[in-house]
Amino acid sequence: MALQLGKTFINLPVKDLQKSMDFFSAIGFEFNKQFTDDKATCMIINEHCYAMLLVEPFFQSFTSKSLADTTRSTEVIVALAADSREQVDEIADKAMAAGGLHSNDPQDLGFMYTRSFQDINGHLWEVFYMADPESHQA
């Protein structure tokens, strides 16, 4: 049997916690106040997946590696499944309106539609809708 784990926490360094929270709030995300202080917040993606936004000095305390300079390199692309093509557009449009940057041109593969953006810290996000994942497995 394949390994299956519980909740997923994506840890991302941010320069300004409040500005990052404002950006993601404008898209429609909420935060768990129980896990929010002046160094970090827990952004709720869904009931099983969260993004921990950690101010850079606090994030740095968890690793001896240098932080990626997101203006020059990519450390991760966070991909989120939406419920519809319209929701993909809504999320991407809200991200752009909140100060996000265009990342790649939209892709329409028929069964899958994607849009991507950079958040205000340079992290890459991809929002996609897949019509029928079961019929398009590799």
* Domain 8-63 superfamily per CATH: 2,3-Dihydroxybiphenyl 1,2-Dioxygenase, domain 1 (3.10.180.10)
Measure the CA–CA gap between 78 and 86, rounded to whole angstroms: 19
CATH class of 74-138: alpha beta
Q: Which of the residues in the chain have pLDDT under 70?
A: 133-138
Predicted local confidence at residue 133, as pLDDT: 55
Number of neighbours of residue 88 by Cβ within 10 angstroms: 23
Which residue, among 39, 38, 37, has the nearest Cα to 62 in the 3D structure? 39
List, by residue range, all CATH 3.10.180.10 domains of the chain.
8-63, 74-138
Q: How far is residue 137 from each of residues 9, 69, 77, measured CA to CA in Å?
A: 25, 34, 21
Predicted local confidence at residue 75, as pLDDT: 85
For residue 66 the two structure tokens come to 């240098």
- Enter the pTM of the model: 0.88
Tens digits of per-residue pLDDT, 104-116? 999 999 999 999 9
Predicted local confidence at residue 134, as pLDDT: 63
